[in-house]
Structure 1
C-alpha cells in the first residue's frame, strides 16, 4: 500500500516536469544550424543548409510545401524597390516591410519578401509563397513568431 502511495505522489509530481522536458525537446528540434526558433504550434519544420558563411532555411508545412524561407548572410542579394511595397508587418518584434515579388513559371503564386537585421553584420532575406490570401496571412503569422538568436554565428560550411 505504501509503495502505491509513493508512486502516485511521485507520478503526480513528475508529470508536469515530463511535459516541460518534452516541450523543451520540441523547441530544440526546431532550431537547426543558423535558423531561428520555430514555435511548436506552427507545425512547421526546418530544412537547413549551411553554405560559405551563410545559412539557408526553409520552413516546410506538413505536406512538404514551403511556408517561407530565408537566406541569412552578411550581404543579402535582395534589394527592395519602394514601388513593390505590399504590406507592413513584424518579425521577432521588429517592424518589416513586405514587398511583392514574382516567381518565374508560377504566376498564380503570391510571393512576398523582406529584409530583417538579425544581429551584428547579419541580415535575413525572408520570402513567403502562398496559393491564396488566407495562406499568405497564415505564413505572415508564422513568420512573425520566429525568434532569432543574435549571438549565433553564421554557418561556415
Structure 2
C-alpha cells in the first residue's frame, strides 16, 4: 500500500505532472487531500473483480511484472495491488449502490458474460436474490 501511495504521488507530481508542487504531510495523505483518486477492482467504487482480467490483458501485466491472477481474481503474490488513476480535480471516491436485475442483465450483455456469473461477482451489491439462490432458499424452507 505504501508503494501504491508513492506511485500515485509520482503520477501527480512527475508522470502526469498536474500537481508538481504539492507538499503533503502523512496526515494529509491519510485524509486524501490530493487531487485525483485511485480506485481498485473489488472496492466500493469498482466492485467487479473480473475487471482485473481486462486490466491485466491491456497491460500484459503477468509478463511485465510476474504478478498473476488466481481463479477468484486475487493477485499473487498477495502483496500485489492494482488500481486506476483518475486525475480530475473533482474526482472523489464513492460506492456503487445496490444494483437491480435489469442493470445486471445489461452489464452481463456488455461484458459478454452469463447473468449468473455477473451475479456471482457482484453478489455484495445486488438488490435482489438471484433466481438460483431464491430456489435454494425455497427448497431449504
TM-score after normalising by structure 2: 0.25
Which has more strand, going by share of residues? 1
Of Structure 1 and Structure 2, the greater helix share is in 2
Question: TM-score scaled by structure 1?
Answer: 0.23
